[in-house]
Chains A and B, each alone.
Chain A
Amino acid sequence: MGKLLLQMVQATGTTLEVFFLTLLFALPLGILVAKGRMSKHKIVSGLVNIYIMIMRGTPLILQLIFVYFAPYYLFKASCDRFTAVIIAFVINYAAYFAEIYRGGIQSIPRGQYEASEMLGFSKTHTFVRIICPQVVKRIMPSLANEVITLVKDTALAQTIGVAELFRVAQNASARQFSTAPIFIAGLFYFIMNGIVSKAFDAIEKKLSYYN
């Protein structure tokens, strides 16, 4: 039992790596994608829209398999499993984050832009100092949802053979003819998401100094 728990804690390390690396790249990438989606250039916004449609319209598990195997069939070269997982998660989550950002950006009243324009702010200054801080506050609840889903989605990494928490639990379960390890894994996810929720609550509270 102690050995199993140790294994599971180690596997949780992999899960957390997938989780944090995905956030690290997908959160900023989402801004670029959102900007592209809102671009005035029809070609740019059209292409970005197709990308978002594919990412949201097909299963993540399929995208994982594609990212890992497609380069092999196309170029006879492939990246290692873990890198493939990160790439697949990042491009998938960036699409979802982008749509959340877009919703937030478009919910800011036009008057905020007009006031900025009248005060002589540059476009960049307006976006960074006036629009973004307000967007961040507005999108926190949706973002929390998405990040919580990410914690659970990390279990899909096992599809291409990355030994994360759920894979280790399943293996142990098969070895011991017992569902206990799987339920323990469930508890692990529950605790991780408890922390995520608390973190988002704290951020929301910090941002509640105005409404």
Chain B
Amino acid sequence: MQETVIDVRHVKKNFGPLLVLKDISFRLNKGEVLSIIGPSGSGKSTLLRCITKLETIDSGSISICGEEMVHSENGNVVYAQKERLREIRRHCGLVFQNFNLFPHMSVLSNITEAQRFVLKKSKEASEKTAMELLEKMGLTDKAKAYPCQLSGGQQQRASIARALALNPDVLCFDEPTSALDPELTGEILKVIKDLAKEKMTMMVVTHEMQFAHDISDTVIFMDDGLIVEEGNPKEVFEHPKSERTRKFLMRYEG
């Protein structure tokens, strides 16, 4: 029996009259990589933001690592209590499209801040962890630098290190390469691939089809707030069942 890390059931979300997520259900198992692809406006980023609770849902339920973050009761959504919610959210790390590093802090402080003040680790222990992660990201020499002195790719690697420092059970990526040029994109994709090799559970919203094809255990194709197709990369990319998926993938083939 595989351990479920993310369990999403019948999630609906609307922005005013606009239904962004219509009825989304899926699971992500421990050690697996899930990619979500689809056209802009299909709701894939919103879905990620609902799972990380940067957005609230309007119906359905979401559990992280077996702990229920939100469920529906008589047509109302009920979120876990504040402290509990905080604990549940700690299972998830998030890497943003625009990195969102703290510009006034050195790369090292960006990574130690949460360890020290959220996990209450000592400064020395936090810095040790941070330096290990920076080494893994190939940024050892940038520890004392400020984010503005780094290239986009280096900033994104630093932000991955920042998220990893809290030891999340699942790492979510919200279009991690959309702000980068092709060369830097490759740099980030390699880091994510390495994490996949270490069996890090990941959920990646991306426009990089080849990448999604190569690293994913499961691929979800979303369109217009619905999951149109779900399966292993071979099925989705090579033998898509739906016409919509076929049309979308056509654009990516040279």
B103 within 8 A of A: yes
**Complex CA distance for A125 and B104, rounded to whole angstroms:** 15
Contact A125 B117 (CB under 8 A): yes
Point out the residues of chain A lying under 8 angstroms from B92, CB to CB. Answer: 118
Interface string of A118-143 (1 = CB under 8 A from B): 11110001000110011001000000
Contact A120 B90 (CB under 8 A): yes
B46 to chain A, nearest CB (A): 14
Contact A210 B166 (CB under 8 A): no
B248 within 8 A of A: no
A contacts with B, residue count (CB < 8 A):
19
Contact B94 A112 (CB under 8 A): no
Contact B104 A120 (CB under 8 A): no
A139 to chain B, nearest CB (A): 14
**Complex CA distance for A209 and B96, rounded to whole angstroms:** 24
**Complex CA distance for A109 and B113, rounded to whole angstroms:** 19
Which of chain B's residues 145-175 have a Cβ closer than 8 Å to chain A? 146-148, 159, 162-163, 166
Contact A115 B104 (CB under 8 A): no
Point out the residues of chain A lying under 8 angstroms from B35, CB to CB. Answer: none
Contact B104 A118 (CB under 8 A): no
Partner of B98, one of A111, A129, A210: A111
Contact B104 A134 (CB under 8 A): yes
B196 within 8 A of A: no
**Complex CA distance for A139 and B93, rounded to whole angstroms:** 32
B147 to chain A, nearest CB (A): 7
A88 to chain B, nearest CB (A): 35
**Complex CA distance for A210 and B146, rounded to whole angstroms:** 7
**Complex CA distance for A129 and B116, rounded to whole angstroms:** 13
Contact B96 A119 (CB under 8 A): no
Using CB atoms, name the residue of chain A closest to B103. A210
B210 within 8 A of A: no
- Taking beta carbons and an 8 Å cutoff, which residues of B are in contact with A? 52, 54, 86, 89-90, 92-94, 96, 98, 100-104, 113-114, 117-118, 146-148, 159, 162-163, 166
Q: 9 smallest A-B Cβ distances: which pairs?
A: A111-B100, A119-B114, A115-B100, A120-B118, A210-B146, A118-B94, A133-B104, A210-B103, A210-B148
A-B contact pairs, 21 of them (CB 8 A): A109-B98, A109-B100, A111-B96, A111-B98, A114-B100, A115-B101, A118-B54, A118-B94, A118-B163, A119-B114, A120-B86, A120-B89, A120-B114, A121-B113, A121-B117, A129-B117, A209-B146, A210-B103, A210-B104, A210-B146, A211-B148
